[in-house]
């Protein structure tokens, strides 16, 4: 990491952040500022870790204000998957592309959260499920998706989705997409009905939430894309640019009746404003339910679009945000700056 930082290697972008002990500042590995002495440097995997250790972002490379671009290698691998969504991309194929397989596995998993081959397999099977649900014949799907035999296709399909393709026509699928933001990558899950999940990938409990949704909806999860995912990506870009504060992507609120009441109330809090847990409890005709409001907020996995970050303590202090209090403060400051630039 030190060698990559000193050389400002573009391939290190998004893999780690560099903090300088003597200045209290953290940077991107490609920052063009004067390089510090090696003994003054430490490394962090995420912006959150650097902030929590007391460092502030560099004003030159602005590690918190610019969307993290994926490393060039990750982009090449994603493009390779889209060009070859049938069959397999083997280590030999990677070598032909002048890509070291171990490097591909390491960088892709670091950035996407799963290995390159696992991503390719999931993308391939997600497309197969889409074909099944749209009524294509199983033999055509088997051939188009690169399976040598019907039994191999059925085995792979059943292993991923829990039932054979012949019984999967009505099975729903949540499509997953990683969304880059100035506050770190987010996971978005959507189906034809709307957006089910949008949260920071490092949020504790997110994996459990996805598993719960899979079980409750009896659905599969696979990498993919649809109109709702395209919409949320575009609208998040506008939000972080300060040109949009409200979202119109269809939402699917999956929770208890009380949680859904709280979440719908959250949707009415305007940007640039905050309310207290006590105020919300009173509005919901449950004046003794401050803690219940807080728990419902904590179960919200549609971050930013269902703005639980706009709820604070009655004394004005921050508490209780699944993405971390530093993100909550950033979001509130960003909304105020965007709406009231002169204040």
Active-site positions? Answer: 308
Q: What's the gap between Cα 303 and its chain centre?
A: 10
Q: Which tokens is 246 given?
A: 């409200």
Q: Which tokens is 114 given?
A: 């799963």
Q: What's the gap between Cα 7 and its chain centre?
A: 30
Looking only at the bridges linking them, the beta strands covering 275-276 and 311-312 are: parallel
What's the full length of the chain, in residues? Answer: 343
Radius of gyration in angstroms for the set of CA atoms belonging to the chain, rounded to a whole number: 22
The helix (H) or strand (E) run that includes residue 44 is: strand 41-44
Angle at 110 between CA 106 and CA 114, to 5 degrees: 85
Q: How many C-beta atoms lie closer than 10 Å to residue 17's C-beta?
A: 30
- For residues 42 and 54, give the distance between their C-alpha atoms in angstroms, rounded to a whole number: 12
**3-state class (DSSP) for residue 65:** coil
Closest Cα partner for 129 from 153, 113, 111? 153
Contact 67, 181 (CB under 8 A): yes
Angle at 150 between CA 144 and CA 153, to 5 degrees: 65
């Amino acid at each position: 990491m030190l060698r990559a930082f000193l050389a400002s290697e573009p391939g290190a972008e998004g893999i780690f952040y560099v903090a300088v002990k003597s200045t209290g500042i953290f940077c991107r590995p490609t920052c063009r500022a004067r390089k510090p002495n090696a003994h003054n440097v430490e490394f962090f995997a995420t912006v959150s870790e650097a902030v929590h250790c007391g460092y502030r972002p560099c004003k030159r490379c602005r590690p918190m204000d610019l969307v993290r671009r994926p490393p060039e290698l990750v982009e090449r691998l994603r493009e390779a998957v889209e060009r070859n969504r049938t069959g397999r991309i083997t280590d030999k194929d990677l070598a032909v592309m002048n890509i070291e397989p171990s490097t591909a596995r390491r960088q892709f998993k670091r950035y996407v959260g799963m290995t390159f081959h696992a991503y390719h397999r999931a993308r391939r099977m997600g497309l197969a499920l889409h074909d099944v649900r749209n009524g294509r014949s199983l033999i055509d799907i088997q051939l188009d998706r690169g399976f040598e035999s019907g039994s191999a296709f059925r085995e792979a399909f059943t292993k991923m989705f829990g039932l054979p393709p012949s019984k999967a026509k009505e099975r729903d699928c949540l499509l997953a997409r990683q969304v880059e933001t100035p506050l770190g990558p987010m996971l978005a899950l959507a189906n034809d009905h709307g957006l089910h999940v949008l949260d920071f990938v490092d949020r504790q409990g997110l994996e459990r939430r996805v598993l719960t949704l899979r079980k409750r909806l009896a659905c599969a999860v696979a990498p993919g894309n649809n109109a709702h995912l395209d919409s949320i990506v575009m609208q998040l870009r506008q939000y972080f640019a300060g040109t949009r504060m409200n979202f119109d992507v269809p939402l699917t609120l999956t929770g208890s009746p009380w949680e859904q009441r709280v979440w719908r109330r959250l949707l009415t809090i305007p940007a640039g404003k905050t309310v207290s847990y006590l105020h919300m409890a009173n509005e919901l005709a449950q004046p003794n339910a401050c803690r219940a409001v807080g728990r419902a907020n904590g179960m919200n996995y549609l971050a930013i679009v269902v703005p639980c970050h706009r709820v604070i303590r009655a004394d004005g202090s921050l508490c209780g945000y699944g993405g971390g209090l530093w993100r909550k403060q950033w979001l509130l400051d960003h909304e105020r700056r965007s709406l009231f630039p002169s204040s």
